[in-house]
Amino acid sequence: MKRLCKQNLHNVKPYIPGKPIEEVERELGIKNIIKMASNENPLGTSPGVLRAISDALGSINRYPDADCYYLKKAISEKYSVTSENVFVGNGSDEIFVLALRAFIHPGEEVLVADPTFLMYNIASVAEGAAVCSVPMKNMRYDLEAMAQAITDKTKMIFIANPDNPVGSYVTEDELDKFIDRVPEKVLIILDEAYCEFVDADDYPQAIGLADRSDKNIIITRTFSKAYGLAGLRVGYGIARRDIVEILNKVREPFNVNSIAQVAALAALKDDNHVKKSVSLVWEEKKRFYKFFKELNLEYVPSYTNFILVNTNRNSKKIFREILKRGIIIREMSAWRLDGFIRVTIGLKEENDRFFKAFKEVIEAITG
């Protein structure tokens, strides 16, 4: 079969997501499992969303609105852009894939940081691009090195701001200086999946960048994190109209399902739920920092809803032991960050359970 598929797929290692709760229940035969592995919103979604979904269920025999008219209108009003500047995707993941599909010619290069969101790499290789990874410096984007890594073949650059799995962010000043050095023929994807969680004055107000005529920029955001809609798969991109028109050529006509559309629309209207979700993360993050400090473990200060920690131990073993105690976290060998784990900030009681389990495991595993 390998002979029959596109040659670039030979090098694609499928994305391995955080383990689903049901799978762990099946495998380990335990109940009451908590998932702190995929940076989801532990508060769930807002009551307004649940009402909107329930009202829309009667129409699922119909195809969805292929144009996402109302959702695009609401997004465009929120950011003072036009609906023609908005593209809605089946998660922001889909927007990355479509952008690569539309813009990459075989042999062109995609520039990413290392470590970063694994999907950039996987989707780029699947679309026939060569990936150039530029190591981070002190767990932050090294934009100087990234600018120097741009070649004639570079076609796209992914910047996750803040980054996953690291949790650090690029400042407005750093971003502006970097963008100035990116040639006009390059498309920049600025992935702001975690922007709602950032508490820093120098974080870029990036939406305005989409308007630039001398640069090609898509800013992507998602309903999967602060809005609590990961299971429905909705993300959006804001870009110049000519870029959006091209993305529209390569998407499936009904790429965003009808329930996702009404849910996202209702979620956008409920600022309070987002505020509540963000406050929970900020409050609980302090407890994580204190906890890791007491254990003398180094963590990366995070501007997201997860924390990357160096356990200085066998992190695969830690992952397995914590899993046995009913808690799913992420061990980081897929990113070649041996010894590291990533944990999503949960509800207060979930975090307490994590602290107890992690301490027990860490004290039992000394190397």
Ligand X SMILES: Cc1ncc(COP(=O)(O)O)c(C=O)c1O
115 or 235: CB nearest ligand X: 235
Q: Are the C-beta atoms of 281 and 274 separated by less than 8 Å?
A: no
Rounded to whole angstroms, how far apart are CA atoms 159 and 168?
Answer: 12
Contact pattern for ligand X over residues 227 through 256, marking x by CB under 6 A: ---x----x---------------------
Among 24, 35, 39, 343, binds ligand X (CB under 6 A): 39
**Is residue 306 within 8 Å of residue 343, measured between CB atoms?**
yes
321, two tokens = 């032991």
Q: Is 92 in the site for ligand X (CB under 6 A)?
A: yes
Which residue number, 93 or 270, has a Cβ lying nearer to ligand X?
93
41: contact with ligand X by CB under 6 A:
no
Report the residue number whose CB is nearest to ligand X: 91
310 binds ligand X (CB under 6 A): no
Q: Which of 124, 222, 302, 344 binds ligand X (CB under 6 A)?
A: 222
Closest to ligand X by CB, 235 vs 346, is 235
Count other C-beta atoms under 10 Å from residue 133's C-beta: 16
Residue type, 29: G
Nearer to ligand X, 235 or 326 (CB): 235
Give me the residue label for tokens 């922007």: 195
Of 257 and 314, the one with the shorter C-beta distance to ligand X is: 257
Number of residues lying near ligand X (CB under 6 A): 13
Please work out, in degrees rounded to the nearest 5, the angle formed at the alpha carbon of residue 338 by the alpha carbons of 200 and 360: 85
Q: Which helix (H) or strand (E) holds 291?
A: helix 271-294
Phi then psi for 55, rounded to 5 degrees? Answer: -65, -30
Site pattern 171..210 for ligand X (x: CB under 6 A): --------------------x-x-----------------
Q: Is 154 in the site for ligand X (CB under 6 A)?
A: no
Name the minimum Å distance from CB 143 to ligand X: 17
Contact 113/134 with Cβ under 8 angstroms? yes
Task: Report the candidate in 115, 147, 120 with the shortest Cα–Cα distance to residue 131.
Answer: 120
Residue entry with tokens 């009451």: 32
Q: How far apart are CA 2 and CA 7, in angstroms?
A: 8
Q: Which is nearer to ligand X, 164 or 311 (CB)?
A: 164
How near is the Cβ of 221 to ligand X at its closest, in Å? Answer: 8
Binding site for ligand X (CB under 6 A): 39, 91-93, 117, 160, 164, 191, 193, 222, 224, 230, 235
